[in-house]
Amino acid sequence: MKIVSQPDRYKPGLVSYILPAYNGEAYIAEAVTSILSQTYDNIELIVVNDGSTDSTEDALQSVSDPRLTVIKQKNLGISHARNNGIAAARGEFIGSASQDDIFEPDKTERQVEFLRSRDMDMSFTWIKVIGEARALVERKMLSIFNKRSPKPEAVFRKLLRRNFLSAPSFLGRRECYAVSSWRQGLLLYQDCDLWLQMCGAGMRCGMVEAPLLHYRAHFGSLSFNRDYPEAYREIEKSTMLQLALELTPKGRSITMPGSWLRRSDWPLHITAGKAEELASRALAIAGNGRGNLRQAHALAVYALNKEPLNPSNYLLLADLLDAFSYRGPADTFRRISAHLANQDHYTNPSSTFPARNTFLDRL
């Protein structure tokens, strides 16, 4: 789907930050303050409260700044929350933010200048690790995210091997979301999938080589609570790569990481069709737990994103994962389905904007 604001709401020079929040009472006020205190002050901050059950709402209400907007939704997950916020954004530039992390005061100013002076579409920064779990992850995280920026034409290929771009540091032109969206159905690799969508569509990406984001490593964060088995992680990686292949123009040569994707699993050869037809094909490929889960999962995720507000598509994905005994992820998608069925004020971007015209949609 295409996720950008309506043209008559677009404001040149404005930076829109999207911050999904779920039970973030401990650090969210500090995170919000760091964003609203930027030296580049032409900012709007859209916080999407994703069904928090703690005092996150109270913490947000304590912030008195007209540039802050809070959107409430049921607990539908981070991808729904980000897409919901992006649909409301009015900025020339749209960036990501996290409820735990802190911006350096000049982060926005330096990234906007970078995008404009280098003719880039996407920008990221290096990070500084803070927090109680810093000693456990600092060396690894710095080795991943604080590297010299590759040439824009090399980013897509490097992402196929490893995500080296920090999601909370992202700031890009609004046009990036005319060719991409946070894909539903992925719990672990939504960010790398998004960068692949953008770069695969020709968006130019670069790095501001300075630690402008303070990444908070603590034991309550999502990074420390991804208790899914390694085999499930491989399934999501495979799906991400299969969809990246399908978004790549015909004739483009790509070397795939062998440990992520077996040759027998691709190309997926998705055919045009309605979500219901594609979902039925996914179940047939799954073979009630005896078929090819990698292809079935990729097809189910693609079908789901044709109709991301249809609760039945999440139930189908849950049933597929249950058939292969992935109970944890299956329960997550059942919860999303139940909440989505009772959600009465979720913004559906596809109801306002035409469907994205990608290579996948032309098959």
Task: Please check whether residue 180 lies inside any domain of the structure.
Answer: yes
Assess whether pLDDT exceeds 90 at residue 266: no
Residues 163 and 205 in one domain: yes
Residue 352 — pLDDT band, cuts 50, 70, 90?
very low
pLDDT band at 353 (very low <50, low <70, confident <90, very high): very low
Same domain, yes or no, for 347 and 269?
Answer: yes
Domain of residue 109: give its range: 10-224
Same domain, 48 and 189: yes
Has residue 266 been placed in a domain? yes
Do 237 and 217 share a domain, yes or no?
A: no
Six-digit token string for 346: 């979720």
- Total domain count, the chain: 2
Task: List, for residues 1-35, the tens digit of each pLDDT value.
Answer: 344 444 457 899 999 999 999 999 999 999 999 99
Are 169 and 155 in a shared domain?
yes
pLDDT of 258 strictly over 90: no
Q: How far apart are CA 198 and CA 59, in angstroms?
A: 34
Is the same domain home to 147 and 200? yes
Report if residue 5 sits inside a domain. no
Is the torsion defined by CA of 33, 34, 38, 43 positive or negative?
A: negative
> Given 165, 190, 224, which residue is the final one in a domain?
224
When the pLDDT of each residue in the chain is averaged and rounded to a whole number, the result is 85
Q: For 162-189, what is the mean pLDDT? A: 95
Per-residue pLDDT tens over the stretch 291-350:
989 889 998 998 898 889 899 999 999 999 999 999 999 999 999 999 988 865 545 443
- Does 313 map to a domain? yes
> Are 341 and 258 in a shared domain?
yes
Q: Please give the average per-residue pLDDT across 120-131, as a whole number.
A: 96
Does residue 331 lie in a domain region? yes
> Quick check: is 1 in a domain?
no
pTM greater than 0.85 (yes/no) = yes
Residue 241 sits in the same domain as residue 152: no
Q: Does residue 173 surpass a pLDDT of 50?
A: yes
Report yes or no on 357 lying in a domain: yes
Please say which residue of 167, 197, 224 terminates a domain.
224
Q: Is the pLDDT of residue 219 over 90?
A: no
Looking at 171, 201, 224, the residue that finishes a domain is: 224
Which CATH number characterizes residue 144's domain? 3.90.550.10
C-alpha closest to that of 189 among 165, 221, 158, 153 = 165
Residues 173 and 212 in one domain: yes
- Based on the fold, state whether residues 211 and 167 are members of the same structural domain: yes
What's the CA angle centered on 271, arms 253 and 204, to 5 degrees? 40
Q: What is the 3-state secondary structure (H, E, C) of the chain?
A: CCCCCCHHHCEEEEEEEEEEECCCCCCHHHHHHHHHCCCCCCEEEEEEEECCCCCHHHHHHCCCCCCEEEEEECCCCHHHHHHHHHHHCCEEEEEECCCCCEECCCHHHHHHHHHHHHCCCEEEEEEEEECCCHHHHHHHHHHHHCCCCCCHHHHHHHHHHCCCCCHHHCEEEHHHHHCCCCCCCCCCCHHHHHHHHHHHCCCCEEEEEEEEEEEECCCCCHHHCCCCCHHHHHHHHHHHHHHHHHCCCCCCCCCCCCCCCCHHHCCCCCCCCCHHHHHHHHHHHHHHHCCCHHHHHHHHHHHHHHCCCCHHHHHHHHHHHHHCCCHHHHHHHHHHHHHHHCCCCCCCHHHCCCCCCCCHHHC
Residues 151 and 256 in one domain: no
- Do 198 and 291 lie in one domain? The reply is no
